[in-house]
Chains A and B, each alone.
Chain A
Amino acid sequence: MTAALKRLGGSLIVLAVVLALNFFLFRVMPGDPLTSIVDPRFSPEAKAQLASQWGLDKPLSEQFVVYIREMLSFRFGLSMMTGAPVWDELKKRVPNTVALLLPALVLSASLGLWLGVKAALNRGSAIERVVLLTGAVSFSFPSFFVQILLLMCFAYFWRLFPLSGTTSIPPPSGGMAVLDYIWHLALPLCSLVIMGFGGFALYIRNMMVKALGEDYVLMARARGLPFRRVVWNHAFRSILPPVLTILLLSLPGVVSGAVVTETVFSMNGVGRFLLEATNSHDYPAAGAAFFSLALLTVGCNLLADAVYILVDPRVRREGSRE
């Protein structure tokens, strides 16, 4: 229990640091945000009015209080580019990012899991070679390169998929809208799975190879249990805690990857929102996007700990031995 509390405290510290970074980093950006987005021909009065609209005329400490309030209530203030509430824009984009990342993670994890176990069971087989190769590829190929290649092959040379966007313009209606959405999602999703499953498969293979050499797996065989049961209920189940940890800890990286993927495929997601906002010094928007990504990461870390405690009896029943 104390361990769980400790982790929770750690996560809160991370969030606090992210919040503070978010505030100070964006406020020390070179170039006064007003000069970069407001026409210099504006009168000083108009500028002052704009400054007060975003609260830039108040002392830093007061700005900080306002900022924290805005962040924790998920209002995020007004965008400096559009003047609209950031949350309105973010609200539209979060589902797109989740629709990309969640299936990508599920697919690459299940593919990696299946291939990793297969490879561990058949040492020296073609499957093992594939796992080792894709593992090396996922650690050394830049994702955007693979994505551009896919885009060029399947969207330019063979026009099977759209070159960019989240939906067709104008968007079709009814059931076609769903199909259109999936059609646009297919290529980015595939690219994430291609880049993602190799790493998982390699980890799972290595842990599985180790697990299969354990005494308890030999003894499970000695008990005459069916092969599948030995592999899944004994060997695989015993490596489940670290597998889950790796899976969930890789989420921050996956979230980071959303920035690149959404840029390559010009999708309307939080990642590209962050990039656009950073490039245009729109710091309420950039701050909100950064904060949402950080929140997602911290949430995943907490989830990883919770799941670990759930699946590993050694951690769960700590102290019950006395």
Chain B
Amino acid sequence: MRFAMRHWISAAAFVLLAAIAALGPGPLGLKEGIVAPPYSKPNWLDRSTAPSVELHVSSSGDAEETIFWDYSPPLRVSFTGVLDEDGLIRWTRPGGGFILSRTPGEVDLDARDIPFKRALDISPFENMPSVIFPERGEYALSLDGSGDVRMRIEGGRWGILGTDHRGRDIAALFVQGLRVSLIVGVAATLIATLLGMSFGLLSGYAGGFTDAFIMRAADVLLSIPTLPILMVLAGIWGKGLWNLVMILSIFSWMGTARTVRAMTLSLRGASWVEGLRAIGAGRNYILCRHLVPETLPLLLANVALGVPGAILAEAGLSFLGLSDPRLPSWGRMLHDAHTFGAFTSGAWWSILPAGAGISMICLIFLDIGRKLEEMADPRLAAETRHKVIEEAEA
């Protein structure tokens, strides 16, 4: 068995993605929820735009935090926390500093607030972030006395992938979407394959009316345009994750059932099965001990090859808005990007990761499935398109 470099890459990528999906955004240092202004650019994209950072000073931790500012002024600056009786927050600029607040109690100041500007003796018409960050240089936030204050500077960029229309970290959404895609894709295909296998075995082994009925049902299901019926069902059954899995699996067992039926028919006539029957093996025994294991390797390949279809279907439904809006999935991300004007904002970074994620994971599953199929049945693989593709690539 020849494993091309590509297969190793696919397998490694699959393991990596599964690990990322299992960990989730938290352990990877990604924050869920709103973190920065809407459609912030990724950090690496535009070095001159202000980044989004948070400075934290407290009497129990660092009393002073410095930051080197090399950008245009940020969009928003705000302060939150607590200040004790003796507390005082000081802001040091290259041209000299000033005291931001010495009012004890809860701190909740925003650079857009008029009272805050008044207190600092700044004209209400002036843009306060540019007073706080007037030029390039070293700045420091310091706390005298006791308290715990966070300074949030919101610039036009965030993280490695930027933010979406609500200011959520796209990297975090990407990881959550990966999880949803994998769960839906794999679960729906597994259920569909199990359904397909049972119906296929039943159909092939029982024959007669059962066979005709099941195959007729498969034909009917195959002739109904898939997306519209999925839309209707999602509208009726609700948009939850597991509803989606159920809907997808009900409409994707037919192919497997046909394959398994054909295999069962050819195996039923095979001489070794005849032999088993001759020595008195019962139908259930032959079915469970021989036919199922015989069809199993191919089914594994079938699962891998079926996952892309399920993932694409889930993404399509989510894109049409027919998924749980609270569940961040890749299709949902594209739906949001499309609905909330990502491209009229030029925010291509909110589109690319989700789309690339879907395509990548589908390619990986196709590649793995192709290889599994070839391993399960080299003769069959030689007849399918996959083999031809490999020849050309070799």
Contacts and interface: CB of A to CB of B under 8 A. Distances in A.
Contacts of B238: 30
B366 A136 contact: yes
A145 B343 contact: no
A275 B231 contact: yes
A317 B321 CA distance: 50
Contact of A152 (B331, B343, B389, B392): B343
Interface in A252-280: 252-253, 255-257, 259-260, 263-264, 274-275, 278-279
A19 to B, nearest CB: 11
Contacts of A260: 227, 316, 319-320
B385 interface: yes
B355 A256 contact: no
B220 A14 contact: yes
Contact of A123 (B351, B366, B392): B392
Contact of B225 (A17, A149, A293): A293
Interface residues of B, number: 45
Contacts of A209: 388
A279 B337 CA distance: 19
Interface string B229-269: 10111011010000000000000000000000000000000
Interface in A137-158: 137, 139-142, 144-146, 148-149, 151-152, 155-157
Contacts of A30: 236, 238
Interface string B311-355: 010011001111000000001001001100001101010010011
Nearest to A251: B225
A129 interface: yes
Interface residues of A, number: 63
Nearest to B358: A142
Contacts of A26: 232, 236
Interface stretch (A41-49, A100-108, A217-225, A294-302): A294-302
A18 interface: yes
A286 interface: yes
Nearest to A296: B225
B226 A253 contact: yes
B57 interface: no
Contacts of B322: 278
Contacts of B358: 141-142, 145
Given A145-B334, A256-B225, A274-B228, A124 B392 contact: yes
Contacts of B389: 132, 135-136
A67 interface: no
A14 B232 contact: no
A286 B232 contact: yes
11 contacts: A21-B224, A29-B235, A132-B393, A142-B319, A142-B331, A145-B359, A149-B351, A156-B343, A263-B319, A278-B232, A279-B235
Interface of A: 10-11, 13-14, 17-18, 21, 25-26, 28-30, 123-124, 128-129, 132, 135-137, 139-142, 144-146, 148-149, 151-152, 155-157, 163, 202-203, 205-206, 209, 252-253, 255-257, 259-260, 263-264, 274-275, 278-279, 281, 286, 289-290, 293-294, 296-298, 301
Given A135-B385, A142-B319, 15 more contacts: A14-B224, A123-B392, A140-B362, A140-B363, A141-B359, A144-B315, A146-B355, A148-B338, A148-B355, A252-B223, A255-B225, A256-B225, A293-B225, A296-B225, A298-B223
